[in-house]
Structure 1
Amino acid sequence: MNTLKRKILCSIVGTSLLAATALSSMVVSKAEVNRNKYPVFGVDVSNYQGDINWQELEAQNVSFAFIKATEGSGHTDESVRRNLDRAAGTGIKVSAYHFFSFDSAGETQADNFIAAVSRDEIDMPPVVDIEYYGDKRKNKPSQAEAESILRPLLSRLEAYYGVKPIIYTTLPVYFRYVKGSFSDYPLWIRSVTFEPDLMDWKFWQYSDKGTLTGYDGDEEHIDLNVYNGSEEDFEREFSKSTKKADNTAVSTRKAAT
């Protein structure tokens, strides 16, 4: 091999190694959260966290929690009933989330969630979690296909709970399906490598490798989140008295018309 070929090969290998190192660093890096800027801290949980001691979570400054309730049109999380009941005995504000399916009708997905979570059990709006699963990352549904399912799902949840649902999503799914057609819905965004400061978000999931005490499931980690606002903003936005007043005002306006 002549000198020129060796130099070219070394350059290619060196560039590849640098790229691989940068990618590895990006994958394992953690988003840094300014807790002075985002003081309201919370978690999201599912059956993977097992039996949860909600009082112990509250003692670790957990202010809110999103509890998995359902998937698609037929699945209910095994722990949703236990988690909702036990969390109600704490000062933690809760909501529940539905894992969106690209493979069943939005109306029946909404019915599945409504059957699992009553109006008075949650302090915050219901959540629709839309992300790729199975082969969907490789074989992405079209925007029209996704919207034909997501639109009636969101509409039925809003009609039942009296408030716009929150959309949880990843950055790739946000830009493909949410940004254009559903930007008027509150956003809960997953970004575990950097702060998502180029979009208007309500909640930010900044880690899927959190470690707290108070749960004993197969999953040793717990997802960590922050609210985009102050403690006063959070209490004002999600106090039940405020929601009741808003709902009364809506009912009054409807009656007047």
Structure 2
Amino acid sequence: MADNKRRIRFKSIALVEAVIILILTLLLIWAAFIRGRDKAVPANASVKKDIRRRAVIEKEETFYQLDGKKILMNDGTYGEVFVPVYADVPASTINLDELTMRNGYAYYKENGEVVSTTGVDVSEFQGEIDWEQVKQADIDFAFIRVGYRTYGDGIVTYDSAFQRNIEGALDAGIKVGVYFYSQATDADEAIAEADAVIDALADYKITYPVVYDWEIVHDAARTDNVSVEALADCCVAFCERVKDSGYTPMVYQNTGTAMHKLDLPRIKDYDFWLAEYAEKPSYYYDFKIWQYSNTGRVPGIEGDVDLNICFRPYDGKIKETEKNT
């Protein structure tokens, strides 16, 4: 009988202890929650810059359209895939129904009238060019390569045919823009490339843009591991340097790299030159020039050459100098 009473007393004590532990646990959880709420920082509160480093995540809501609009693309592994639409990057206004092909050239019409111009882009790989024949073949403009940075050693090098090509095109009455083939890995290298272009143009008048052409080589290149942020830094650094010198900057890129590698909101203020070899472009965002073929044929140029259409001709808003006036 005494043993039963002791057991009952011990059980009562254990039950009371369990209740006390439960109450203390609940109090601790409640206190932690209240204290955490007091220390929480509102979304619109100011915080130190060295704490908030996830800029892309913070901008995501303003970057993407809230209506859920998507761009459909084809992927070699997954088939049809989608990416959300940037709300603050201008969409293309080109009416694809007004885009036609005739005799290998692309034309764009508005109100029944052709408003586009036709052009080529060339380098030393095209060899000796008869620019008079090119002009007679209804080529309105040409982008001349100024130079390139080697993808192995990273050495800035001038195109061996640059002077011959730019002078030949200008003398033939063809409007000229230029481009630099970049393998920059940071903004300082991109600025050095822009300076090389500006120096090369000192004695010439051009009427089309100065173009930043950064490309992925896929051959153990120095740019293989360039980050999205670093690439955007390079684009901005080059374009701003060019703009400060009085020229119109432009970024050249193919559709895949533009959609998956370029930070488009950061370069949206620069004209865009699209490379997409197809009957009609599928790129969603705004572009001024479309490179639609790398196997074009033009009298005066031996072999294949890139063909381009400019939807709004440039009219001399770019820096002019004394030569070739």
Could you say whether these structures have the same fold, taking a TM-score greater than 0.5 normalized by the shorter chain as the test? Answer: yes
The separation in 1 between residues aligned to 2:172 and 2:224, in whole angstroms, is 43
| The one of 210, 215, 229 aligned to 1:131 | 215
Superimposed CA distance per residue, residues 4-53 of structure 1 (whole angstroms, 9 cap, x where no aligned partner): xxxxxxxxxxxxxxx9xx9xxxxxxxx97452536411100010111111
Structure 1: where are the runs of 5+ without partners? Answer: 1-18, 23-30, 246-257
Number of corresponding residues: 205
| The one of 171, 180, 195 aligned to 2:255 | 171
| The one of 209, 231, 237 aligned to 2:295 | 209
Percent identity between matched residues is: 26
Aligned pairs (5 A) from 1:24-173: 33=101, 35-37=107-109, 39-72=116-149, 74-103=156-185, 105-118=189-202, 120-133=204-217, 134-135=219-220, 139-160=224-245, 162-173=246-257
Q: 1:77 to 1:186 in 2, by over 3 A?
A: same
The separation in 1 between residues aligned to 2:252 and 2:318, in whole angstroms, is 21
What is the match of residue 196 of structure 1? Answer: 282
How many angstroms does 1:147 deviate by?
2.5
Q: RCO (CA 8 Å, sep 6+): is it higher in 1 or 2?
A: 1
The separation in 2 between residues aligned to 1:244 and 1:35, in whole angstroms, is 28
What is the match of residue 252 of structure 1? Answer: none
More strand by share: 2
More helix by share: 1
How many angstroms does 1:164 deviate by?
3.4
Q: Is the 8 A contact 1:70 1:116 kept in 2?
A: no
The separation in 1 between residues aligned to 2:242 and 2:157, in whole angstroms, is 17
Q: 1:171 to 1:119 in 2, by over 3 A?
A: farther
Question: Tell me, what secondary structure is at the counterpart of 1:124?
Answer: coil
How many angstroms does 1:107 deviate by?
1.9
Structure 2: where are the runs of 5+ without partners? Answer: 1-75, 80-98, 110-114, 150-154, 321-325
How many angstroms does 1:212 deviate by?
1.5
Superimposed CA distance per residue, residues 97-137 of structure 1 (whole angstroms, 9 cap, x where no aligned partner): 01121336122111222222227431112111122123469
CA RMSD of aligned residues (A): 2.7
The separation in 2 between residues aligned to 1:95 and 1:114, in whole angstroms, is 12
